[in-house]
Chains A and B, each alone.
Chain A
Amino acid sequence: MEKKIYFDHAATTPVDPRVLEKMLPYFTEKFGNPNSQHWFGRQTVSAVDEARDTVARLVGAKSSEIYFTSGGTEADNWALRGAAYAMAHRGKHLIVSAVEHPAMITTAKELMKRGFEVTFAEVDEYGAVDLEKLERAIRPDTTFVGVMTANNEVGTLQPVKEIAALCKKKGVLLFTDAVQAAGALRLDVKELGADMLSFSAHKFYGPKGVGVLYIRSGLKIDKIVTGGHQERSMRGGTTNVPAVVGLAEALRLAVSELDENAAYVSSLRDRFIRRVQREIPFVKLNGHPENRLPANANFSFRYVEGESLLFSLDLKGIAVSSGSACSSGSLEPSHVLLAMGLPEGLAHGSVRFSFGRHNTAEEVDYAVDALKEIVLKLRALSPLFPKDLKNEVFPEEK
């Protein structure tokens, strides 16, 4: 197959050539360490300062509230571990939503081994945190609530503002992982009301290996990467200057082109969803039907396992990801889909399609056509597919 179609933008995106251009000088001629006193070092200090100012302005924060990290996972780790230990004298109960990214879930489980108690906040059938249940889960010794801005697997947006109001009322810190939301939705930390927020450049056409943790001024959390005086002595390690410059430029472009990109990408997504629902029987759209990321479509294909779907699409040049156990390398299917109450069979048959600004309607149509053929073939192979059902026909059309 010559054709290569990339529908996995929630995993990562290509670096925008305009971003790369901004980064390149900082690999070669402007290579200095911003911590160095001499001319070479001083030359890069302003680049890092500018990047920080740009990021701060774009998310409605102060420059002093922006910390550069090695990516979303480090930022999530820092927020959760840093807050948990800093507040441990007040209480050792933490709440994270059941649909958080593994960067949060795994970290929370580590903290459970170190004397913290963790409640995994329940979600509804669409993957949105249940506010009433969350309120009931908050105890006097709760110090931290972590709820992502938008879910990486099913794209559902969380009621972050409402959760922020609740946390404020209860005197609990709120952290929101905005890795999937940044660049796709308008983000303003003051408007959202979160005390901490994280994101990562490679999700919005920036480089990999660089992210941000916003920490509201006045809030003191523990460091987790200890070392030199970088990031106001809060995060050691030589600043990745080209990456930081790239992150800021990528965010600037994403925000300035946000409306047109979101409109375009969501039109592709809607075309895809419409066609799949009309033309392939026994499918389920996972996540909220409207309240979701513009780029995300997540479907379960009944009687079919997700990894075999993924590889069949891959053989036709179409790149997607799957929540099946077999694709993740574990034995459990997606914790997100299970938390939403999806039966295990459907969770194993889930595939995520995430669109980007370089995709076209023709690619969407090609993928749907390929998908129809693949699902037919895999269902013919499946011992679960009931003999009395016609593979190619919708139940209501019989």
Chain B
Amino acid sequence: MYTEKVMEAFRNPKNVGEMEDYDGMGMIGSEACGDIMQVFIKVKDGVITDAKFKTFGCAAAIATSSTATEMIKGMTVEEALKVTNKKVIDVLGGLPPQKIHCSVLAEQAIKAAIEDYQNRHAAKQI
């Protein structure tokens, strides 16, 4: 049911871990739904220089976390905001229909991390 790319991203996920000195952090999902995704980003001059994640969830959730964080590294914040779950799915070569919500979670967690960064950034400028 999973593509080889999904299984590879699940087997060897990239960007696993936490960041001590992150510029933005987003956490989406709940234990009750069986999926929680936490994304940390480091931003310099409007560019995402590093991203890390921690995920409680199924193979698809872990694979999309890995792929999505990998995609946003090197992007500007504006570009990263345009990373949709569909783009993550395309990179993974597709997901089974019942797993689409996992990729939505990845998109939302990244958006939440960027929002957190923007709030902190705005606060600093005041």
Contacts and interface: CB of A to CB of B under 8 A. Distances in A.
A383 B56 contact: yes
Contacts of A311: 2, 7, 10, 58-59
Contacts of A303: 56
B99 interface: yes
B61 to A, nearest CB: 8
B27 A333 contact: no
Interface size range of chain B in the complex = 20 to 34
B54 A381 contact: yes
Contact of A308 (B16, B37, B57): B57
A44 B36 CA distance: 58
Interface residues of A, number: 23
B57 A315 contact: no
A315 B99 CA distance: 19
**CB-CB nearest 10 A-B residue pairs:** A326-B58, A307-B58, A348-B34, A345-B31, A383-B54, A383-B38, A344-B32, A311-B59, A382-B56, A329-B98
A308 B62 contact: yes
A389 interface: no
Nearest to B36: A383
B16 A345 contact: no
B102 to A, nearest CB: 8
A357 to B, nearest CB: 29
Which residue of A308, A331, A333 has the most chain B CB atoms within 10 A of its CB atom? A308
A384 B98 CA distance: 23
A329 B1 CA distance: 11
Contact of A305 (B11, B27, B58): B58
Contacts of A320: none
A384 B57 contact: no
Contacts of B36: 383-384
Interface string B45-75: 0000000001111111110000000000000
Interface in A173-189: none
Given A348-B34, A381-B16, A383-B36, A304 B56 contact: yes
Contacts of A364: none
Interface string B11-55: 101001000000000010001111111100000000000000011
Given A303-B56, A308-B59, A311-B59, A383 B27 contact: yes
A250 interface: no
A381 B58 contact: no
Contacts of A330: 98
Given A308-B10, A311-B7, A383 B34 contact: no
A304 B34 CA distance: 9
Nearest to A384: B56
Contacts of A345: 31-32
A325 interface: yes
A325 B11 CA distance: 21
A305 B34 contact: yes
Given A311-B7, A311-B10, A384 B62 contact: no
Interface in A272-305: 303-305
Contacts of A325: 33-34
